[in-house]
Amino acid sequence: MVKAIIFLEGGGDSNELKSRCRKGFHKLLISCGFTNRLPTLKPCGGRHRAFDQFKTEVKKSNYDFVGLWIDSEDPLDDLEATWEHLLNRDNWEKPEDATDGQVLFMTTCMETWIVADRETLKKHFGSDLQLSALLPLKKLEERTRKEVLESLEHATRNCSNAYKKGKRSFEILGKLSPTVLEHHLPSFVRVVRILKDQL
């Protein structure tokens, strides 16, 4: 069995939120068919902290696969050139021996995945969800993080459980349909392809 660990952006500074983050990603991975080969998921709060912990673990080499699962923050020029994106955007140097396949992007943010799955949104937020306020599905990953977040917050503003980052976001994450995400989001297709190869 492959020994794998993935450092996640998300979960803030509280143990409760980190637990919700881990559960949300685990549920999504189970929906993707990874039930019997789930990696250890390590919510780290901010993306810089996730990167620091990833670098440390890569040096130790205690795992068969070490991944970094973060928001891309900006649209990607090349889905596969992850370290080039991180160098240009964040000035992050690729650790020695790390590969592009170890970086899993939510492009441009986790909310892009949530916005992509309209059926799950309708079930979660109910009749007060304003679908017309959401961004079009075409080329959704080319939208900025700000556009995606504002669209989701505006569309749910009249709902009793209006969208907020944190525990609500991870609750929805675990309900998303991988089939729908793969239909609309090339970066999600890439994540599933890499994890099928590595886990």
The pLDDT tens digits for 4-14 are 999 999 988 88
pLDDT(38) > 80? yes
Give the C-alpha separation, 150 to 182, whole Å: 23
Give the C-alpha separation, 1 to 171, whole Å: 29
> CA 109, 111, 115, 117 torsion: positive or negative?
positive
71 backbone φψ class: left, alpha, beta (φ>0; ψ -120 to 50): beta
pLDDT(167) > 80? no
pLDDT(147) > 90? yes
Give the C-alpha separation, 54 to 156, whole Å: 35
What is the reported pLDDT for 155? Answer: 97
pLDDT(77) > 90? yes
Quick one: what percent of the chain has pLDDT higher than 90?
92
Confidence of residue 168 (pLDDT cuts 50, 70, 90): confident
- Quick check: helix, strand or coil at residue 139? coil
Mean pLDDT, all residues of the chain: 95
Give the C-alpha separation, 73 to 146, whole Å: 9
Give the C-alpha separation, 111 to 19, whole Å: 19
- Quick check: helix, strand or coil at residue 135? coil
Q: Is the pTM of this model over 0.85?
A: yes
